[in-house]
Amino acid sequence: MAMIRASFLSNCLKRNVHFNAVIPVDPLFPQPFKPPLKTAYLLHGYSGSCDGWLTKHSLRDLSICNNLAIILPDAENHFYVDDTQREDMYGEYIGRELIEFTRKVFPLSEAADDTIIAGISMGGYGALRNGLKYNDVFGHVVAISPAIILSDITGAEFRPSIPGVTRGYYESVFGDLDTATGRDVDVFWLSEKMKGTNAKFPDIYIACGSNDKLVFENRRFHEHLRGLGVTHVYEERPGTHDDLFFKPHLEAGFSRIELDRQPEPPNPFWVD
């Protein structure tokens, strides 16, 4: 596995940004990678970073065993949506600019069916939002415990999903909360718009723990997609909002996607 840390000047964010890339190149692995590579864009959760993926998840095996390039962007705590007032266009950065840049730098497939957007918690919401909004780019969405939270912060009773976070923070991220449920920050609204225009939905996998406080909105979105007639997979299993639930269900989401499966690579530290 080659792990590359890259940076470039982003027009969407008006500054230098960095990301990590995991490329399936391993001198110990007998079969070389086959370009163009299928690609997964993995989105971190609230208070996380692109570096956190490298310490918590087995990206080497995911990359090598599936001939898969993995791109790990940073989004700070902006939920992967656009802030037009500050010109922090995180959605456009994820859905267009980062795609275009990484495809120029690495031998990546440009086919939507070869392009996956996935994430956990805040990143799970970002995967759903941007997978729907940029449905011409992403053919697969893997959303683990997605933070579908607008109904909690836009109703008559303000119920923040993140303890101690103020209404002002959410307004800085999503804009006017009174109109948020009628804009592209709302995955319910986005899916209805797509259905109305007969747009092609990506393949969608959603998983949430039955003891996760986010489960109620995840159930509601699942029923919403069913009501629209959108084919998707929703799995609810015992668990809460932690890595014990995230890791196996992220792997389950990827296992559904047709990838270039390879034998498991040898462990370079194993001695007979």
What CATH number does residue 224 fall under? 3.40.50.1820
- Whether residue 26 is predicted with pLDDT greater than 80 in this model: the reply is no
In a domain, 127, yes or no: yes
In a domain, 57, yes or no: yes
Q: 92-137: per-residue pLDDT in tens?
A: 999 999 999 999 999 999 999 999 999 999 999 999 999 999 999 9
In a domain, 270, yes or no: no
State how many domains the chain has.
1
In a domain, 87, yes or no: yes
- Whether residue 219 is predicted with pLDDT greater than 50 in this model: the reply is yes
- Whether residue 267 is predicted with pLDDT greater than 80 in this model: the reply is no
- Whether residue 151 is predicted with pLDDT greater than 70 in this model: the reply is yes
In a domain, 272, yes or no: no
Question: Which is more confidently placed, 227 or 269?
Answer: 227
Nearest to 134 by CA among 157, 109, 117: 117
- Whether residue 55 is predicted with pLDDT greater than 70 in this model: the reply is yes
In a domain, 262, yes or no: no
In a domain, 260, yes or no: no
Domain that holds residue 222: 2-255
Mean pLDDT of 202-225: 98
pTM of the model: 0.94
In a domain, 170, yes or no: yes
